Amino acid sequence: MNKKFLLCVAAIFLYALPVVWGGGKKEEPKVTVPPNIEWVTADRIGNPNAPITLTFAVEFSYSHQIQTPSRRQYLTRRMEEWAKQHPEVKLIPQILPTNQAERLAKQLEQAASGTIADGVQIDGQWIPLFYQWLQPLDAYFTKEEVEDWLEWCRKEAMIDPRDGKLKSIWMLTAFVGLWYDKTAVPNPPRTWEDTIRIGKELRAKGFANGLLTWGGKDEQITFGSVFPMFFGLGGDLVDKDGKPVYGAGANREKLIEVFTFWDRLVKEGVVPQRVIDLKSNGDLVAEATKPNNVAMFLGGSWLLSLLKDNLKENIEKWNISQTPQKTGQPMQIPGGHNLGFFQKDPKKLALIVDFMKYVYVGKDGMAGWCEAGGYIPVRKSVFRDFPVFSNNRFMVAFSEILAVGRTRPNVPAYSVISEHVQEAWQNVILGRQSPAEAVDNAYRRTLNQLR
């Protein structure tokens, strides 16, 4: 054989060697993008032919399916921008149940069984229950980024105290306060007695209602209308071991005081019994848009965008203040949601984290989403660097109101407690039970269910 032939054989052998031995660099799957695709649909975000599929689960009001213009437009735009930059990925959205107890139980079951979405919105108070399944995020956020979050966010849920690792990202914060029409209520009530007095004056001036709030069975009852006042009196829902104590001893008396206040509001004509039919954000905002209907209502800070969309220029008549307390000493419950991630593959985890940062919790993402949704940012740089927050009278008021706050206990018993207290409050509003009967019945049911 001549030299030229031998060289050809050697070249063929060397070329085929990686194939024979299974070596060589694997080629990435070819990504094809159909022409004229719709990048964001109700049930898909991204290229329908993408080889990588990821899932994320959020509330309906946090999803691009929401019809509120400011929210829908922001989410659709940011999601489409990210999708076009990552044609190898498609994301499938999941909508979380609205019932808080049902949602928590389902999320815990999914996390334990490994069937939970890759990225999930979780109520901040429940994050510690998921630490064992949440994937560490330290590789995707610098130390400086983490320290940009408010201190209570980091301590409450973001950093797992057992191993010091970053386990979730706080999205935003919110609270329930007293929205009021400045033209009808120049000085909002700080105390319970002032609330009753001003409510009666409004009725005398021709307003159909003195005060409104959520009344349909929901966490908003306890989060907004009961527990801020109960905490303001120094009440405790559970002991240091997480066991319910809200219906015993001094705590019982304090909760009876809160229910007695609400009983007076109904009996003295300030709050109508029909509040139990107000079950959503939209219901409250609809009440606020009716002429001579209501000039004070307890509602979430997150209603700002809805109020702007519905009240238009009349939004300038409205402001927000702290929840009235017995003595006027301020107390609020800061709430909000976190993002937890359960995808274990590093490449996929990096992608879903990047998507959520771009849309919800990166510096620009948090600023955009909080502005669109009327939420309060929890990154110091967002509040400092974006005039939409630092120069916004509502946002300044929000931050001042949250200067004094106490979070709900992150114990498994809380959802049971909240459900029973919601029903007890409704029974007081409807006159079915006295304040003492309502507290005792709720506490008895709680203890029986948790045995």
Run of H or E residues at 427: helix 413-429
Residues 161 and 240 grouped into a single domain: no
Residues 329 and 213 grouped into a single domain: yes
Q: Considering only CA atoms, which of 63, 64, 29 is closest in space to residue 49?
A: 29
Residues 315 and 376 grouped into a single domain: no
Q: Considering only CA atoms, which of 377, 445, 405, 439 is closest in space to residue 149?
A: 377
Structure-model confidence comparison of residues 21 and 192, the more confident one: 192
Is 35 a member of any domain? no
Residues 158 and 206 grouped into a single domain: no
Give the CA diameter of the chain.
Answer: 114
* Phi, psi of 50, deg, nearest 5: -60, 140
Q: Which residues are CB-neighbours of 1 under 8 A, at least 6 positions away?
A: none
Is 182 a member of any domain? yes
Question: Mean per-residue pLDDT for 163-182?
Answer: 96
Whether residue 192 is predicted with pLDDT greater than 70 in this model: the reply is yes
Q: Residue 171: its pLDDT value, please?
A: 96
C-alpha 131/C-alpha 156 separation (Å) is: 12
Question: Mean per-residue pLDDT for 112-137?
Answer: 95
Residues 155 and 294 grouped into a single domain: no
Residues 292 and 275 grouped into a single domain: yes
Question: Mean per-residue pLDDT for 119-124?
Answer: 95
Residues 392 and 415 grouped into a single domain: no
Whether residue 22 is predicted with pLDDT greater than 60 in this model: the reply is no
Residues 369 and 315 grouped into a single domain: no
> How many residues are given for the chain?
451
Is 19 a member of any domain? no
Q: Residue 252: its pLDDT value, please?
A: 98
C-alpha 271/C-alpha 259 separation (Å) is: 13
C-alpha 227/C-alpha 404 separation (Å) is: 14
Please write the tens of the pLDDT for every residue from 363-385.
999 999 999 988 899 999 998 99
> Is-contact 446 371, C-beta < 8 A?
no
pTM of the model: 0.75
Question: Mean per-residue pLDDT for 205-226?
Answer: 94
Residues 189 and 284 grouped into a single domain: yes
Whether residue 164 is predicted with pLDDT greater than 60 in this model: the reply is yes
C-alpha 15/C-alpha 376 separation (Å) is: 60
Residues 427 and 389 grouped into a single domain: no
Q: How confident is the model at residue 28 (pLDDT cuts 50, 70, 90)?
A: low
Please write the tens of the pLDDT for every residue from 327-338.
999 999 988 899
Give the type of residue at 351: L
Is 118 a member of any domain? yes
Residues 192 and 324 grouped into a single domain: yes
Question: Mean per-residue pLDDT for 344-357?
Answer: 98
Question: Looking at 359, 376, 397, which one is the last position of a domain?
Answer: 397
Structure-model confidence comparison of residues 111 and 128, the more confident one: 111
Residues 130 and 186 grouped into a single domain: no
Is 192 a member of any domain? yes
Run of H or E residues at 250: helix 249-267
Is 11 a member of any domain? no
Q: How confident is the model at residue 29 (pLDDT cuts 50, 70, 90)?
A: low
Is 226 a member of any domain? yes
Whether residue 311 is predicted with pLDDT greater than 80 in this model: the reply is yes
Q: Residue 404: its pLDDT value, please?
A: 84
- The residue segments making up the domain with residue 273 are 176-334+408-450
Could you tell me the CATH number of the domain that includes residue 94?
3.40.190.10
Q: Considering only CA atoms, which of 411, 362, 359, 352 is closest in space to residue 116?
A: 352
Q: How confident is the model at residue 21 (pLDDT cuts 50, 70, 90)?
A: very low
Q: Considering only CA atoms, which of 200, 203, 201, 199 is closest in space to residue 213?
A: 199
61-80: string of b/e by CB count within 10 Å (b at 16+)?
bbbbbbebebbeebbeebbb
Q: Residue 9: its pLDDT value, please?
A: 44
Is 185 a member of any domain? yes
Kind of pairing, strands 44-46 and 89-95? antiparallel
Give the type of residue at 145: E
Total domain count for the chain? 2
C-alpha 355/C-alpha 79 separation (Å) is: 8
Q: Which residues are CB-neighbours of 146 under 8 A, at least 6 positions away?
A: 154, 158, 159, 166
Whether residue 4 is predicted with pLDDT greater than 60 in this model: the reply is no
